[in-house]
Amino acid sequence: MSSRQEFERDLSVLITRLTKDSTEETGKKLNVLKDWLLKLRKENVVKINHSVMELVCAKYLIEKGYEVQLEYPLNQILTCDLYATKGLENLIVEIETGFIPPESALCPLTYTSARLASKILRYCSFAGKFALGMPPHYILPFPRALAKPPRNRTEEEIAKIKRLCDAYYQKPPIELEEIRNARIHEIYVVDVDHVSVLELDPETYLKRAIKRGIVYDYMPIEIREQ
């Protein structure tokens, strides 16, 4: 069996699980999304571990009354994982699986913190609400200042986030105004095993994680030593 055939098999199994207790309308919408992912897989655009989380999250949003699109282009550069609309409201969800590229093997938390910060800052300008989706076994090390309402963010916190992002992302660079205005609205804990989603507000999520000893203010060593 080829990898594409395995991809299609796994999505079909997941759709069966997702539609077991759903309405016919929800099932139709999920199958349309599945077919879109199969098309993208033929183009080598998507991976199975990411796609199954998108579908589980999509069902959750569909049942909340959203119309959902997957791998939705926002402009010529950015494509978001889930783009959901309900009336005049729009929501972007980015799925995080915790992948670390080999070149960041010696600073995985710093790299991930910068990547998450960059995603939050860049995507927020395209939607009224922004959320991060994650598996239950993964902890998101995003800068804690981004969980605060923008009005409660200090200039020192803004400057730190700017330095963190600049260490990894310069084309284009993150602007200070983006940091001042961006915010995570929701965290979705996506459980593929049980085809369920737990929704948390980011401040509650951070408090739970910090109690476990996780620190969120990672900075590249070369910046910390300046």
Q: Note whether 64 and 125 are same-domain residues.
A: no
* Statement to judge: residues 59 and 105 lie in one domain: no
| Residue range of the domain that includes 16 | 1-69
CB 32 within 8 A of CB 52: no
Mean pLDDT, residues 87-114 taken together = 90
What pLDDT score does 170 carry?
78
Query: Poorest-confidence range of 54-68, 69-83, 141-155, 186-200?
Result: 141-155
Q: Does one domain contain both 14 and 113? A: no
Instruction: Extract the tokens encoding 82.
Output: 């889930």
CA dihedral over 113, 118, 121, 126, signed as positive or negative: negative
At 213 the pLDDT is 61
Same domain, 56 and 115: no
Segment 65-86 mean pLDDT:
95
- Whether residue 163 lies inside any domain: the answer is yes
**Cα dist. 127→93, 106, 171 in Å?**
10, 34, 21
Q: Find the farthest-apart pair of alpha carbons in the chain and give their distance in angstroms, rounded.
A: 59
Long-range contacts made by residues 157-163, C-beta under 8 angstroms, separation at least 24? Answer: 160/217, 160/219, 161/117, 161/121, 163/219, 163/223
In the structure, what pLDDT confidence band is assigned to residue 223 with cuts at 50, 70 and 90? very low
Choose between 92 and 137: higher pLDDT.
Answer: 92
79 domain residue, yes or no: no
Whether residues 53 and 160 share a domain: the answer is: no
What gap in Å lies between CA 27 and CA 193, rounded to an integer?
A: 19
- Residue 221 pLDDT more than 70? no
Q: What value does the CA radius of gyration of the chain take, rounded to a whole number of Å?
A: 18
Query: Is 144 found in the same domain as 34?
Result: no
The pLDDT of residue 65 is above 50: yes
Tell whether 62 and 109 lie within a shared domain. no
Tens of pLDDT, residues 177-193: 989 989 889 999 999 99
Q: Let me know whether 65 and 169 are in one domain.
A: no
Asked whether residue 120 falls in the same domain as residue 204, the answer is yes
Output the pTM of the full model: 0.90
Residue 123 has pLDDT above 50, yes or no: yes
Q: How high does pLDDT run on average in the chain?
A: 89
Q: Are residues 121 and 41 in the same domain?
A: no
| Alpha carbons 3 and 6: distance in angstroms, whole number | 5
What is the CB-side half-sphere exposure of residue 192 using CA atoms within 13 A? 19
| Residue 101 and residue 65 share a domain | no
Domain count of the fold of the chain: 2
177/104 same-domain check: yes
pLDDT digits (tens, 9 = 90+) for 24-62: 999 999 999 999 999 999 999 999 999 999 999 999 999
pLDDT band at 219 (very low <50, low <70, confident <90, very high): low
Residue where a domain terminates, one of 54, 69, 84: 69
- pLDDT score recorded for residue 216: 58
Residue of higher predicted confidence among 18 and 142: 18
Q: Name the one residue in this structure whose structure tokens are 């009224």.
A: 128
CA distance 113 to 169: 12
pLDDT tens profile 165-178: 988 887 788 889 98
